[in-house]
Structure 1
Amino acid sequence: MQVLEYDPTRFADIPDYPFSENWQTIDLGEGYSGKMHYVDEGPNDAPTVLLYHGEPSWSFLYRKMIPILVDAGFRCLAPDLIGFGKSDKPDDIGFYSYDRHISWLGQWRDAVAPQDAGLFCQDWGGLLGLRLVGEAPERFQYVVTSNTFLPTGGTPSPAFLAWRHFAKTSPEFQIGELLQRATATERTAAEVAAYDAPFPDEPSKAGARAFPALVPVEDGMDGIEQNERAWKGLASFDKPFLTLFGKDDPVLGTVSPLLIKRIAGAKGQHHDMLSTCGHFSQEDRPQELAQGVIDMAHKAGVL
């Protein structure tokens, strides 16, 4: 297996992404190490909010939210998961696992942001972030979620099964076009190219192809036991917890009530289903999502 590094020339013309590069070395396992890239914007002593992306995006997804949050007084930390963005990419699909992603993201947080922090998470950013909240709720001040869940088996929807099959078998796995189809507003050609930038060839897409098959949506899958244990801590999380989901997300747009009814801190919050909002809600409704973070930080007394 090779651990691929990013090609800086492919990121030379990324629009609306003026952020400095930051890096943390991660123990990937089996004797491998890799560099995780992350955005770090805002004063170091400001209240910290973690911004976790999902499949198959990267921290570019938060370019519209970060300036709003920094102006509001936050320090924003947005990592690129291993296999995505500017972070290193193992080229073996079988090397990726749910537990390894948890370990990699946990290592990054312990090194970069060990203090208590708020969390915004979407898609796989939620499968990772919500699990980490459940495992250590005391480290999180509040949570805002969008188009995500913490699954523990069951029966997957036909839409998800189609997406999982496509990610595994499609000979033309064009990341930028996937983002285009999963937003309710139109992306520019430069934005589509920005989502393609991390993936110059098939080996670099191993992490993106692997993620859908790792979602524990069917009984017997790896990750179910860990998520069931995490749900005990997540359900009792009594600090502010807000859901802002997209009405136009065909896979996850309807699951927010499952979070609202189970998580203590979700009671009494102003949850919303956002119109003209697809799966990648950060592209469609960044102002509303950022305002949700600001509101929860105020309720938590950290802003």
Structure 2
Amino acid sequence: MQFLRTDDAQFDGLSDYAFSPNYLEVDDTEGGVLRVHFIDEGPRDAAPVLLMHGEPTWSYLYRHMIPPLVEAGHRVIAPDLIGFGRSDKPTALEDYTYQRHVDWMVSAVQQLDLQGITLFAQDWGGLIGLRLVAAMPDRFARLVVGNTALPTGDQPMNKAFESWREYALTVPDFNAGRIIYGGTTTKLTEAEVAAYNAPFPDDRYQAGARKFPALVPSTPDDPAAPANRAAWKVLSGLSLPVLTTFGADDKIMAGVEKVFQNQMPGAAGQDHVILPDAGHFLQEDVGPELARRIAEFIEKTC
């Protein structure tokens, strides 16, 4: 598998992102390996909080959440998915499949031997992270979901998503920072927009970011649909505590929190919240508040 590795100089001097890089390798499924970057902060003997990003972000998204979670005594791990951030970036669109992303992150969790995990998952972090929970339920202690879903293709996608999928694959200039800017309520600075574009020096690095929307199961016969249906069967039988934290200004995901509240037994009686000042990228809009709610949820459900 051919891939590119973003030069470290692209990540120099990013505001509020002074975390030390960590790396591990995963099987690329074609006889080679790919390097996965992850942040690993806080005491190594503490139960981990796993922060999963989505499209087209990277672990920079969690820069305002990691310090307060560490201050609360937690070990915090935030990986960059393959194709994003400081992780390797396969160059061909066909290199990216839903199953490969799940397998790569399963390998990462197993290599780090994470146990008692609190998962926070947003956007594609949920599509992948929820599959991790279903594949390795004994490793997870609780789940926090924000502006995400686990679609099976049995419900049609709305026109906004169909337009986004087409846009991602065809727009001549895929500007990740500007896309994230449009999904926030507080709005990013120019430096923050540039930080989200830092992993992608040119279009050769953007195959994963362009392909991700097309990997969302949108029809019942999608290749990922059976695996997601199987995952829901596991998830709906788990008793682990579940908290939903959705942004009020994320109109595309509006109402999806009810799916988790209705289908996962551990969601009963939890302090679910719709955050009034948050858009799709709620980590940008209300990161410290979100970190506080995660820490309180952990304390409540220990």
Shorter-chain TM band? over 0.9
Partner of 1:198: 199
Distance between the aligned counterparts of 1:36 and 1:206, measured in 2?
Answer: 16
Amino acid at match of 2:288: Q
Counterpart contact for 2:47–2:115, Cα < 8 Å = no
Counterpart contact for 2:48–2:114, Cα < 8 Å = no
Distance between the aligned counterparts of 2:144 and 2:206, measured in 1?
Answer: 28
Give 1:29 shift: 1.1
Partner of 2:65: 65
- What secondary structure, in the 3-state scheme, does the structure 2 residue paired with 1:285 have? helix
Distance between the aligned counterparts of 1:98 and 1:73, measured in 2?
Answer: 33
| Residue identity (%) | 48
Give 1:141 shift: 0.4
Cα deviation 1:238-294 (Å, max 9, x = unaligned): 121000001111221321111111100001111111112111010001122112211
Unmatched tracts of structure 1, length 5 or more? none
Distance between the aligned counterparts of 1:259 and 1:117, measured in 2?
Answer: 18
Amino acid at match of 1:46: A
Partner of 1:7: 7
Cα deviation 1:37-62 (Å, max 9, x = unaligned): 00000010112110000000000000
Give 1:114 shift: 3.1
- What secondary structure, in the 3-state scheme, does the structure 2 residue paired with 1:15 have? coil
Unmatched tracts of structure 2, length 5 or more? none
Q: After alignment, is 198-207 or 134-143 more displaced?
A: 134-143
Partner of 2:285: 284
Counterpart contact for 1:159–1:250, Cα < 8 Å = no
- What secondary structure, in the 3-state scheme, does the structure 2 residue paired with 1:129 have? helix
Alignment map for 1:270-281 (pairs within 5 Å): 270-281=271-282
Counterpart contact for 1:240–1:299, Cα < 8 Å = no
Give 1:299 shift: 2.7
Alignment map for 1:90-239 (pairs within 5 Å): 90-153=90-153, 154-239=155-240
- What secondary structure, in the 3-state scheme, does the structure 2 residue paired with 1:38 have? strand
Cα deviation 1:204-243 (Å, max 9, x = unaligned): 0000011000001222111110011111111122121000
Give 1:112 shift: 1.4
Distance between the aligned counterparts of 1:253 and 1:138, measured in 2?
Answer: 30
Structure 2 residue 252 is matched with structure 1 residue 251: yes
Counterpart contact for 1:53–1:123, Cα < 8 Å = yes
Distance between the aligned counterparts of 1:194 and 1:180, measured in 2?
Answer: 12
Amino acid at match of 1:174: N
- What secondary structure, in the 3-state scheme, does the structure 2 residue paired with 1:39 have? strand
Q: After alignment, is 39-48 or 245-254 more displaced?
A: 245-254
TM-score by length of 1: 0.97
Counterpart contact for 2:53–2:122, Cα < 8 Å = yes
Distance between the aligned counterparts of 2:183 and 2:68, measured in 1?
Answer: 23
Distance between the aligned counterparts of 1:215 and 1:79, measured in 2?
Answer: 20
Coordinate RMSD, CA, aligned: 1.0
Give 1:119 shift: 0.5
Give 1:135 shift: 2.4
Counterpart contact for 2:26–2:35, Cα < 8 Å = yes
Give 1:300 shift: 2.7
Cα deviation 1:84-110 (Å, max 9, x = unaligned): 000000000111000000010111111
From the superposition, tell whether residues 253 and 13 of structure 1 become closer, same or farther in structure 2 (CA, over 3 Å): farther
Q: After alignment, is 231-240 or 44-53 more displaced?
A: 231-240
TM-score by length of 2: 0.97
